[in-house]
Structure 1
Amino acid sequence: MRIVLIYPPPWQIPSAGDPPGGMPFGPPKDVREHAVLDDGDFLSIPYGVLTIAAQARRAGHAVDVLNLADAPWRKVIAQIAASDATVYGISAFTANRRGMGAVARAIRQMKPDVHITASGPFVTALPLHTLRHYPEIDTAVVGEGEDTFLELIACLDARHSCVGIAGTAWREGDAVVLGPPRQLIKNLDTIASPFDHFTPPIVLTSRGCPSRCTFCGSPAIWGKWVRFHSVAYTIDTFRKALARQPVPVLFVKDDTFTAHRRRAMAIYKAILESGMNFLWGCDTRVDSVNDELLSTMRRAGCQAVSFGVESGCPNILARIRKRTTPEMVITATRMAQKYGMHVRYYMIIGNRGENEESVKKSIKLIKTGRPNTFIFCALSFFPGTEEWEILCAEQGVTPEIFFTNDFVEPSIELNRRDKLDLLLKYIKCSIGTAVGFDYTIEEREAVVDRLPNLHSVRVELANAYLRAGRFDAATRELDQAEALGFPIGGMLDNQRACVALARHAVDDARALLARAARRYPHSLVQRNQARLHAWERLPLGTRGAPPPLDDSVFLFKWAP
């Protein structure tokens, strides 16, 4: 059976020159909502879509996957028209629910006899509403989709009725019906690896989270318990992923990668024993790490760890059922900083009970913890979460708002964005930085003393020396990192180019950037080349000092 799986745009995106209006699922009226089109996470096709595609291919079906997240509507129409399938699957978050409706309508208009199914977090939370408001959709897949989708296409292939399949909702005349729940997959290792066919931007090694935070939709998709891939499957997945990546960088995006500490430790030790040489980052909780775990993570290639901190106020943390404290955040941060990790805090502004005092406590926590990056997001009310249920109960909101409004996500930002923008400016001014804090040279040197044979910490120390104008020391550390087998040669060349240009050795800088680009034409390197080229084209008398180049050694900047 021929299948097309589509990740839709957030709305019908006009092409340049298109007349305004005329699109029932057109752009939001508030242009600030358009920022979603610059969100790298949103633009990346969901991992789950690719696992479903891999499952279907393994079962012998012909499957095409279309990532149309930022595609102008004319391109969407052209892609649908050019496709040839019996089944079309559309996966959507809350942010692209309207795009899902638009794509379903376009498919039905052009291909009236095909079967259209929808899935994803939004559909899982509101399957009956989705079917009622988007009549072009035949079936909704609810929750974990691999087994459900295979059963659905098997029924369609055999020309059997699809009514009654567990984990789906369907139509019976004018009515929509929700079927029984699908049993979750017990052994995740039975799932086909998406890396057998695709190049996902992330890796998942588990499903679910041990916590029950009120704002999180994970339990609605994955259930109340955490399920894990085995250590062997995970290591094999890393190998497959690295074989597809032009730069040895991976992002492990489990809800809590260290939820099972013994398993996590076994994975890190297996990486070290296997000789795999790559940099990676992960998300976790501050109550799911310890010193031994973080030390081993670092030696196994982990450069960055992101903690879901949310707030610095104990009352807020208790209200959202985070089950952590500010003291636990600081303890976990200090342990990660001991090994030179890039520490990132995810923060939420506008939690229930937020006030001036709670905001000041969040500011104090960040100033005390000194994370390398902190990110504030406004509280959003995703269907399927406890925060959404509370909003409905207290404010009389209903799911109809998702089908009658053009917002991207319902959050506390709606109708008060200007006030929140001012609040965020106040927060960043009070912290003293808009992004985060750097390690000092002394802190970087202490990390090298603890981990003298780890190449990545020497690259980070070299970067600190470079920024302090200690060019000989920076060069020495880069040479040491190379001798220890640092896996990203282009990053070393880029650092050396920055050193050369700081010394006014323009020819050397140009040659080093060219070599870095030959290794892999990374956008960071290309921007540096363009910056240097533009400076060299200026008349000699107007050039001034050589331009500063991007000298980042952070793995997020070096992802392909």
Structure 2
Amino acid sequence: MSGHFLFIHVNLLAPVDSPDTIPISEATILAHLKNHGFTGQILGDFANSPLKPQILAKAINTHQPLAIGFTAYQENIEQIRLWARFAKKLSPAVRVIIGGPQVTFMPAEGLRHMPEVDFLCRGEGEAVMLGLAQALNQGADIASVPGLCFLREDEVIETGSAYGADNLDAYPSPYLMDLIDLRYKERAVMLTSRGCSYHCAFCYTPRASHGRVRFYSTERIVEEMQYLKSKGIRAFWFADTNFSFSRRRLVTLLEAIIREVPGITFWCQTRYDLVNRELLSLLRRAGADNVAYGLESANPEVLEKINKPIDLERLSRVIRLTQEAGINVELFSMFGLPGETFDQALGTLAFVKKNRVAIEGNSISQQAHLFFGTPMHDNPAAYSIRPFRRTRPAYLSVCRDYETGTMSAEEIRRISLIWRLNRNDFAEDVRAGRNLFHRAAFITQNRSALADRPEATCLLTCIYLALEAYGAALDCMKRLSKAFPEHPAVQELLQGPFLCFKVSQETARPRFKVIYDCQGSVDGRLVPATCGRFQEAILGEGMLLPEFEKHLNGMSPGEYARFEITFPVGYGQKDLAGKVITFRVHVHHTMEPVTVESYKDLDEQALSNEYELEDTEGLRQYNINLCYRVLHGANVCGRPVKMTDFLVLINLYLKLGFVDLASAVAGKLAENPMLLTHAAHMFRINGQPQKAIELLDRVGIDDPRGRLIRAQALFDLDRLEESEAMVKDMTRPHDIQFADLRVQLAARLALPIETLLEREEALLDAKTQAML
């Protein structure tokens, strides 16, 4: 038997080192195919490691696959269509099959709206793909293969149900067959079961599995874990929802892990009503470092409406017991649920905080998604769900395009913003000085929706302080003291003192900030992990290697130095431990500390700095915070600034909410249509579409690029008819942004489905042309 099958795992939301990019579903199918004499391979398309078109082209040209398979979700199906379209351009005869959660209950009409897709997989992937492979290989009638949906002469053919093996051990392990690329991975995905017998209103799994739960044996699970451990994997993610389907089975598995796979850690989810001190002790001994519980909502009435009864007091006790056992807790939750009000949704956030569960990972709530096959999607009126008036292709479910009888679309949006604002990584970024402009833009562009959230203004104040925008910080603190004088976070922020820094000519010493470049080498070879430009560190704060800091002490502004240190063990760079590193260091500036006791004394003019740093391109690349301080200082003092640097400054001003400053800088730009058009683009993407239009009007820009920005700005302002009128008069056949805008307009204006499909074809053609 011969025949090659290609699978592409598409996950543009996860980086390549995430376990989310492990193609466990596709790999299990491929293992089953290989066990029956077929060949195949898996390619990946990830957030920081996109699939290159030439890689796919080479795979198709080399192997001439019988079919290409994808696992489809709402968030990746458009990218799947793109890859399928590209593959068909290269090899028109290749078949494309998609399966997964998006497909099981997708209306058959979805096939008519995806001409590049040949088959929908309706059943268990292993069974359906093997049947399809054998039919294609033997030239048999595809209609004889259970679990398929396809078009034949424009007629929909549904071939009936395809059931999988009762004993999941019947499917060979993709790990044991070495089918999964484990490079960059520190954690592996494990599945111990399939299916679910519970019937939550938001979930399609029990319907897809016919209420059955099937299992892998303990022996199979342990064998996979032992193999992965031998490959250097010591952290595992048990991804199935029925990891704890029965207490007896769970205890048996945990005891086997303790006995046969010691020294590992794992994440799992379990039912809270199974948990007691003894089970938590066993989980911890087996290696559990994270346990997730399903919360969904902290309101009993809402939980009843979604058919998920929870004893919230008991869950709180279980959370405390889990934490006391030394295991981190995560809580799954959602908002926008049937019958839930805005205040009740806030109550869920309060429940998570009250129980001291960090808002990170799976504890970051999201709006309930309405997927095909779920009761909430298939009968929204019964749950007081009101889908938006949209034109959508039949392969897309309602997903998040709805409001409810108790929460408006704006209230759902506000809840989403508040959850994001309270994520742990938001505050951590601000404390560490990372991603400050991204974080500031989130707050300033949603200022009205977050106006009653003191934590938003507190975080923005800290960002302004870090960027030496003391006047803006002072304004924020005055507003906080007036609007939220009793709020604990506000009181803590306002009590001071405030540590600032002034450029100095003195030598570096403890408590001084140093701005420096460094290069480290071992035996004459540069070590990238030790190299950096425009680094900033406060001496004596533990930010640097002690031996490295000892050499920085006493250096003067402008001084160069060369010295050697022995890299310590246990400092995060295992390959450098114990090695002698030769450093070359250049100090740009030393900055002496200035303590301001009261926020009322924060004087921007007195505390301002003039930096003698001219390499703005290097600053943009290595230290955008310092780049801003340099460019802002030059702008305020009237020093010469390159026109391209003005564009950078406009972008940064807008992210910080300094719209007037950005407008003033835009006024300094030469009457250069290209620069001014780009400036208008900056205003639009930073949440200022009206200002973008005003800038285009002021200078009379009416070139194709300017017209597109104007049409996009009108769309952002919800002036949809005006935007549609503009794009109707424009012709930009290979412009992806233009084609994408036309698709969005067709959906939002609820234009005929034929118009939407025609525009989607044009968008896919533009993207495919760019790939080719």
Tell me the TM-score normalized by structure 1: 0.70
Equivalent of residue 238 in structure 2, options 224, 236, 252: 252
Q: Does 1:242 align with 2:229?
A: yes
Question: Share of identical aligned residues, percent?
Answer: 23
Equivalent of residue 96 in structure 2, options 108, 112, 116: 116
Residue aligned with 1:124, SS: coil
- Shifted more, 150-159 versus 388-397: the winner is 388-397
Kept in 2, the 8 Å contact 1:117–1:141? The answer is yes
Change (3 A) 1:204 1:114: same
How much has 1:412 moved relative to structure 2? 4.8
Give distance in 2, aligned partners of 1:355 and 1:219. 28
User: Could you say which residue in structure 1 is the equivalent of 2:301?
Assistant: 315
Q: Does 1:423 align with 2:412?
A: no
User: Could you say which residue in structure 2 is the equivalent of 1:512?
Assistant: 569
Give distance in 2, aligned partners of 1:425 and 1:6. 33
Equivalent of residue 67 in structure 1, options 44, 47, 52: 44
Aligned amino acid, residue 125 of structure 1 = F
Change (3 A) 1:362 1:514: closer
User: Could you say which residue in structure 1 is the equivalent of 2:150?
Assistant: 170
How much has 1:145 moved relative to structure 2? 0.8
Q: Does 1:159 align with 2:139?
A: yes
Aligned amino acid, residue 85 of structure 2 = R
Q: Does 1:49 align with 2:58?
A: no
Give distance in 1, aligned partners of 2:166 and 2:348. 39
1:38-86 Cα distance to aligned partner (Å, 9 max, x none): 7987961442111101111222211111112448988236513542212
Give distance in 2, aligned partners of 1:435 and 1:306. 23
Kept in 1, the 8 Å contact 2:371–2:399? The answer is yes
How much has 1:172 moved relative to structure 2? 2.3
User: Could you say which residue in structure 1 is the equivalent of 2:85?
Assistant: 105
Kept in 2, the 8 Å contact 1:121–1:143? The answer is no
Kept in 2, the 8 Å contact 1:166–1:179? The answer is yes
Kept in 2, the 8 Å contact 1:258–1:289? The answer is no
| Unpaired runs of at least 5, structure 2 | 183-187, 429-539, 549-563, 594-772
How much has 1:171 moved relative to structure 2? 2.3
Equivalent of residue 210 in structure 2, options 211, 215, 223: 223
User: Could you say which residue in structure 2 is the equivalent of 1:410?
Assistant: 400
**Structure with the larger strand share:** 2
Give distance in 1, aligned partners of 2:545 and 2:54. 53
Give distance in 2, aligned partners of 1:354 and 1:431. 22
Give distance in 2, aligned partners of 1:409 and 1:178. 25
Kept in 1, the 8 Å contact 2:109–2:394? The answer is no
Kept in 1, the 8 Å contact 2:290–2:327? The answer is yes
Change (3 A) 1:514 1:260: same
Residue aligned with 1:214, SS: coil
Aligned amino acid, residue 136 of structure 2 = L
User: Could you say which residue in structure 2 is the equivalent of 1:270?
Assistant: 256
Q: Does 1:384 align with 2:373?
A: yes
User: Could you say which residue in structure 2 is the equivalent of 1:134?
Assistant: 114
Give distance in 2, aligned partners of 1:356 and 1:146. 43
Q: Does 1:208 align with 2:200?
A: no
User: Could you say which residue in structure 1 is the equivalent of 2:130?
Assistant: 150
Over the aligned positions, Cα root-mean-square deviation in angstroms equals 4.0
Give distance in 1, aligned partners of 2:329 and 2:357. 5
How much has 1:4 moved relative to structure 2? 0.6
Change (3 A) 1:502 1:539: closer
Give distance in 2, aligned partners of 1:117 and 1:135. 12
Aligned amino acid, residue 44 of structure 2 = N
How much has 1:386 moved relative to structure 2? 1.5
Q: How many residues align?
A: 447
- Where relative contact order (Cα < 8 A, 6+ residues apart) is larger, the structure is 1
User: Could you say which residue in structure 2 is the equivalent of 1:94?
Assistant: 74
Change (3 A) 1:119 1:406: closer
Larger Rg: 2
Aligned amino acid, residue 256 of structure 2 = A
| Unpaired runs of at least 5, structure 1 | 11-35, 437-497, 521-528, 546-560
How much has 1:155 moved relative to structure 2? 1.2
How much has 1:290 moved relative to structure 2? 2.6
How much has 1:504 moved relative to structure 2? 3.5
Tell me the TM-score normalized by structure 2: 0.52
Give distance in 2, aligned partners of 1:7 and 1:392. 35
Equivalent of residue 288 in structure 2, options 291, 295, 302: 302
Q: Superposition pairs for residues 182-193 of structure 1, below 5 Å? A: 182-193=162-173
Residue aligned with 1:539, SS: strand
Q: Does 1:343 align with 2:345?
A: no
Give distance in 2, aligned partners of 1:296 and 1:499. 40
- Shifted more, 199-208 versus 172-181: the winner is 199-208
Residue aligned with 1:345, SS: strand
Give distance in 2, aligned partners of 1:316 and 1:305. 24
Aligned amino acid, residue 271 of structure 1 = I
How much has 1:193 moved relative to structure 2? 0.7
1:442-475 Cα distance to aligned partner (Å, 9 max, x none): xxxxxxxxxxxxxxxxxxxxxxxxxxxxxxxxxx
User: Could you say which residue in structure 2 is the equivalent of 1:361?
Assistant: 347
Kept in 1, the 8 Å contact 2:16–2:48? The answer is no
1:362-418 Cα distance to aligned partner (Å, 9 max, x none): 244223321234311111111121221133776686999552799995355899887
Change (3 A) 1:58 1:408: farther
Kept in 2, the 8 Å contact 1:188–1:227? The answer is yes
Aligned amino acid, residue 512 of structure 1 = V
Change (3 A) 1:543 1:48: farther
1:234-254 Cα distance to aligned partner (Å, 9 max, x none): 11121123233x341111111
